[in-house]
């Protein structure tokens, strides 16, 4: 970097052999972000991710609104997983304000979070499928996703942006006969999910493009601070739901999915297997949930946090989401920092793409479970 130029600008020397490609920000394979890729023939020499095209300043906006007003806009970074991105915020605010959550609300929150995780993973899987040229794998998850959207619509009234979790519990109670309906749809989905295995995961074309490509070793996964399915695909047994259980996860029966290979195939498979675990959690939570009771602790009008700070995290579809909230005796938080899985996994991109074939770029890229809007916040 030359000193005369402002930060972020640099002058490149031109090499005839190396070609620079801008993948994105409009390219359908990149999402709303740009990858500045240098290729030597068909092989990637270097990759410089350039996110920020959907940076909306969520953290800054949060400093201007009180704890309740922050709910709807904080779920905007990832509307497919809106319950999970609100979850740590609610936990953090509850810790700051000293709010107890009713038992039934805790179970409903877990059910909403797991339904939302399935919605996210199915959406991600649909895009993963279409980018690898597998149209069936776009149609199936996109269709099955409606099952869960319908359930969350029945719970919250909205299809995607639910704003269902609030500090103190959930916004409203479950509709009548929800348990029965949820159980029926989840059981159907478990059967349906097994069909994905044959059509997608045992497909030789998928295996040829993903097996052995973009290998991330266990040591590097830890060193780079990756999270979520990327970390677990590299053989690290770490899931916030198990390691630091929040709400009622410690009472529920599920396993952490860990694969040792660390390649694109493992990264594509871990979220798929986690959907089975999500279904298990939902069924178990429906069984153990108190059948009646309050679902929301009433807050005081315009609650204020003390001179305090809190860091809470949960496991989302893309890895751990941590909220660092600083309060200073005001109804608005002084500072909100959202540390999201997509942003943390971004660091792998230059690392994994180096030396990879350009044609493998979409498989490696989407295997990172990267959601650009969430990473930019």
Chain residues that interact with another protein, rule: CB under 8 A: 1, 6-10, 50-52, 55, 57, 59-61, 64-66, 68-69, 71-72, 96-98, 163, 222-226, 231, 236, 238, 243-244, 298-306, 308-309, 311, 313, 320, 322, 324, 326, 331-332, 334-335, 337, 339, 343-344, 346-347, 376
Q: What is the CA radius of gyration of the chain?
A: 21
Yes or no: say if 142 and 126 are a contact pair by the CB < 8 Å rule.
yes
Q: Is 130 or 320 the residue whose CB approaches another protein more closely? A: 320
In angstroms, the CA 86 to CA 165 distance is 7
The token duo for 268 is: 């594509």
State the nearest-atom distance from the C-beta of 370 to another protein, in Å.
13
Residue with tokens 């009234």: 157
Contacts of residue 294, defined as CB under 8 A and 6 or more positions apart, other chains included, come to 102, 104, 105, 169
Residue 9 CB, nearest distance to another protein (Å)?
5
Residue 41 beta carbon to another protein: minimum distance, rounded to whole angstroms: 26
**Distance in Å, CB of 138 to another protein, minimum:** 30
Q: Which is nearer to another protein, 274 or 376 (CB)?
A: 376
Q: Please report how close the Cβ of residue 359 comes to another protein at its closest, in angstroms.
A: 26
Alpha carbon distance 184, 180 (integer Å): 6
Residue with Cβ nearer another protein (74 or 137): 74
We find the least distance from the C-beta atom of residue 25 to another protein, in angstroms, to be 12
Three-state secondary-structure class, residue 166: strand
* Cα distance between residue 59 and residue 47, in whole Å: 28
In the bound state with another protein, the residue whose beta carbon lies nearer, of 56 and 207, is 56
- CA dist 170 and 167 (Å) reads 8
Question: Which DSSP string do the residues of 68-83 spell out, in sequence order?
Answer: TTHHHHHTGGGGGGHH
Closer CB to another protein, 168 or 362, in the complex = 168
Note whether 85 and 374 are within 8 A (CB): yes
Instruction: Give the strand pairing for 165-166 and 19-23.
Output: unpaired
Closer residue to another protein in complex, CB, 51/129:
51
């Amino acid at each position: 970097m030359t000193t005369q130029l402002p930060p972020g600008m640099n002058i490149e020397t031109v090499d005839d052999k190396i070609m620079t490609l801008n993948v994105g920000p409009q390219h359908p394979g990149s999402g709303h972000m740009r990858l500045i890729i240098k290729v030597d023939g068909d092989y990637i020499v270097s990759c410089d991710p350039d996110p920020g095209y959907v940076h909306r300043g969520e953290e800054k906006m949060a400093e201007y609104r009180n704890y309740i007003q922050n709910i709807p806009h904080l779920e905007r970074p990832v509307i497919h997983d809106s319950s999970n991105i609100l979850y740590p915020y609610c936990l953090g605010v509850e810790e700051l304000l000293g709010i107890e959550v009713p038992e039934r609300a805790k179970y409903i929150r877990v059910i909403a979070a797991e339904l939302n995780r399935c919605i996210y993973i199915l959406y991600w899987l649909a895009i993963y499928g279409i980018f690898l040229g597998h149209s069936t794998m776009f149609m199936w998850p996109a269709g099955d996703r409606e099952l869960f959207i319908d359930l969350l619509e029945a719970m919250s009234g909205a299809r995607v942006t639910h704003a269902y979790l609030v500090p103190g519990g959930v916004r409203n109670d479950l509709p009548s006969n929800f348990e029965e309906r949820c159980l029926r749809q989840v059981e159907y989905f478990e059967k349906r999910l097994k069909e994905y295995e044959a059509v997608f995961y045992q497909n030789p074309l998928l295996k040829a493009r993903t097996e052995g490509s973009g290998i991330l070793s266990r040591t590097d996964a830890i060193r780079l601070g990756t999270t979520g399915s990327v970390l677990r695909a590299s053989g690290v047994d770490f899931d916030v739901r198990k390691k630091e259980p929040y709400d009622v996860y410690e009472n529920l029966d599920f396993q952490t999915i860990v694969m040792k290979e660390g390649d694109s195939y493992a990264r594509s498979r871990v979220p798929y297997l986690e959907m089975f675990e999500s279904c298990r959690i939902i069924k178990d939570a429906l069984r153990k949930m108190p059948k009646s009771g309050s679902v929301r602790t009433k807050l005081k009008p315009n609650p204020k946090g003390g001179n305090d700070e809190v860091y809470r995290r949960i496991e989302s579809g893309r890895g751990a989401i941590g909220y660092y909230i600083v309060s200073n005796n005001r109804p608005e938080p002084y500072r909100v920092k959202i540390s999201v899985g997509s942003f943390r996994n971004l660091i792998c991109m230059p690392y994994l793409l180096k030396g990879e074939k350009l044609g493998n770029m979409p498989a490696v890229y989407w295997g990172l479970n990267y959601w650009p809007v969430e990473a930019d916040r």
